[in-house]
Amino acid sequence: MKISIYPTTDDMSKAAADLVAAQLAEKPNSLIVFPSGESPSGMLRYLIQYANEGKADFSQCTIIGLDEWVGMDERDYGSCKHYLHTNFFNHLDLDPERVVMFDAKAEDLEAECGRINDFISSHGGLDLMIVGIGMNGHLGLNEPGTPFDLYAHLSELAPITVEVGQKYFKQETVLTRGITLGLKHLQEAKMAVLIASGEKKATIIAESLQGHISTDVPASVLQNIRHARILLDEGAASELEHTS
């Protein structure tokens, strides 16, 4: 696990974008997972800039969405799909066939998990999986208590996730379940990347990266991923003990 600490959130975001651009240059047809939320916003802005400048070519890669609130799609303001379309996809010349996301309104959500699992495995596995971290250590919507060996699955949302999740909506919204890639996907990805910024994430970052490895803190699984990359700004890294 390599931890890189940057002076500002912007520096961290640019470093994350540089990792994506390097991956695309090395393997243009990469399978890449992007998260939604506050953490990736700066990275996505840089990637749009890189695409416009010819520094990143998304024409051959396939993008996988990390997760979604059950019952929502891109027409729902606050959904993960809405976020990625608004802040990323709509600014790129992407083939819609190369964007693969959960249908969180599907009648059979278990089958939907299977569809995403099968797509990933049939395309040779994930080349790059980028995640943020929740205040309770969740990655994607893998909440505390989630086994480390799960692939895509449904999750019951923790109260803190429901509470914090309200910031993405214009009005109070009922959130009960999520559909998400699993921690097994993160462990099997050729490159697993965590991005985090701000002092509010400092405590959970320290607990996840230097505390006891336990399903009680899903992000602690990163300690088991030797090739994981951790990108933090100084605020998020402020409670870490010495890192080399």
Give the active site residues. 67, 136, 138, 143
Q: Is there a contact between 190 and 125 (Cβ–Cβ < 8 Å)?
A: yes
Q: Is there a contact between 141 and 104 (Cβ–Cβ < 8 Å)?
A: no
**How many Cβ atoms from other residues are within 10 Å of residue 231's Cβ?**
27
Q: Is there a contact between 71 and 104 (Cβ–Cβ < 8 Å)?
A: yes
